[in-house]
Amino acid sequence: MSAQDMSNGRRPGRAPLSHALWPLLKTTLRTLGSVAVTLLGLLFVTFIIARVMPIDPVLAIVGERASQSTYDAVYHQLGLDKPLIVQFFYYLWDVLHLDFGTSLLTAHPVSQDIARVFPATLELATLGITIGILFGVPLGVLAAVRKGSWIDQIARVVALIGYSMPIFWLGLMGLLVFYGVLGWVGGPGRVGIFYADVVPPVTGMILLDSLIDGNLEVFRDAFSHIILPASLLGYYSLAYISRMTRSFMLEQLSAEYVTTARVKGMSEWHVIWRHAFRNIRVQLITVIALSYAGLLEGSVLTEIIFSWPGIGSYITTALLSADMSAVLGGTVVVGLIFILLNIFSDLLYKIFDPRAK
């Protein structure tokens, strides 16, 4: 130990705390900067879309029979008489304050409408991705381990059908068979008419709210309504997850370390799950995160077919009614979901992959 280290009371070979925190601070700042730039680009794109759409926002508010003075007053109130750059900064300021305007259909703030409909989509997509993970990952692993066998052929057919069949056709056939003919599941909607508004909303997700309220009867009815659309979405995510899992596992099973582990006498279970599968976890995180984001924003047709009051159905109805405030607000929320899921997957990288640390 040097005299300078002794005088400063430091142990040799130990970096100051500031040096240890600097990489973490730099990574955090880089992540926040990337998120800010991405979000700014998203807001700019939505702003431009609102301006190039062949829809007059003033006429959508005042109607075609309004006088010119009324039209001019609303035009000035919306700030449309100002330069585009000024309008964009006004729009940016409002979005940062979660102000997406007022919906023409509901006459409520768009932020309140999104807070009301988004839990339904979140509940449906979460159950769907859970089904996709529980069945897709084991199916992909088994298909890779038994390459060329009947299990592998089934996995390929399942993935092919999942990519080929239109989701609206499967939804209609599912309603016809399992609801109309067999009566195994509930019909369109989140709950039956008899159970509507019985459970007080806490989270906005009917399954959780019914459990919190202790009403198992409502829970069973809600589960019978959600299981078919969730299974449909889960099947589509299962097709993608199983195919990617199979591809990742085939690459690992052909590696030299797997051959070495088998030569050393390790059991097949340890070779597959403790070695090969551990090395594909990071890649699966990205696949699952993208699948989940896709279910959150891409379940429009499913929500329409099953009369599911989620954000996809909300945006579609608003678009057909030229309610651009609702459309842009929902688009911004969906884009923000993708950004947050990417950040979450990056955090999981650092947990599961020591090299990322």
CATH code, domain with 311: 1.10.3720.10
pTM (2 decimals)? 0.79
* 61 inside domain: yes
Rounded mean pLDDT, 19-46: 73
User: What percentage of the chain carries pLDDT values higher than 70?
Assistant: 85
Predicted pLDDT of residue 17: 46
Average pLDDT for 76-86 = 75
Q: For residue 105, is it within any domain?
A: no
Statement to judge: residues 236 and 334 lie in one domain: yes
* Residues 81, 200 within the same domain: no
Query: Which domain does 73 fall in, by range?
Result: 15-96
The pLDDT of residue 193 is 80
* 118 lies in the same domain as 92: no
- Is 1 domain-assigned? no
User: Which of 240, 229, 233, 227 lies closest to 139, judged by CA?
Assistant: 240
Token digits for 16? 């100051």
Single out the residue in 62, 96, 130 at which a domain terminates.
Answer: 96
Question: For residue 133, what pLDDT band results from cuts at 50, 70 and 90?
Answer: very high
Using the predicted structure, report yes or no on whether residue 329 has a pLDDT greater than 70: yes
Is residue 327 domain-resident?
yes
Q: What is the pLDDT of residues 182-231, one digit of tens each?
A: 888 888 888 888 877 788 888 888 888 889 888 888 899 889 989 999 99
Smallest Cα–Cα separation from 244: which of 331, 134, 143?
A: 143
**pLDDT score of 130:** 92
Higher-scoring residue by pLDDT: 8, 163: 163
Return the percentage of the chain with pLDDT > 90, whole number. 5
Whether 256 and 144 map to the same domain: the answer is yes
Write the pLDDT tens digit of every residue in 52-63: 776 667 766 666
Q: Which residues contact 117 (CB under 8 A, 6 or more apart)?
A: 309, 310, 311, 313, 314
Domain boundary pick from 67, 96, 125: 96
Q: Are residues 82 and 123 in the same domain?
A: no
Which of 124-133, 269-278, 330-339, 348-357: highest mean pLDDT? 124-133
Instruction: Note the helical H segments in the chain.
Output: 3-8, 17-52, 57-62, 68-77, 84-96, 110-145, 150-164, 167-174, 206-213, 216-253, 256-263, 268-269, 281-298, 300-305, 311-320, 324-352
- Domains in the chain: how many in total? 2
Residue 9 has pLDDT above 70, yes or no: no
273 and 317 share a domain? yes
Report whether 166 contacts 205 (CB < 8 A).
no
Tokens 């794109």 locate to 45
Domain endpoint, select from 96, 130, 152: 96
Look at residue 251 and tell me whether its pLDDT is greater than 70: yes
Give me the pLDDT at residue 131, please: 92
Are 87 and 230 in the same domain? no
Q: Are 126 and 163 in the same domain?
A: yes
Q: What is the mean pLDDT of residues 272-297?
A: 83
User: Are residue 240 and residue 277 in the same domain, yes or no?
Assistant: yes
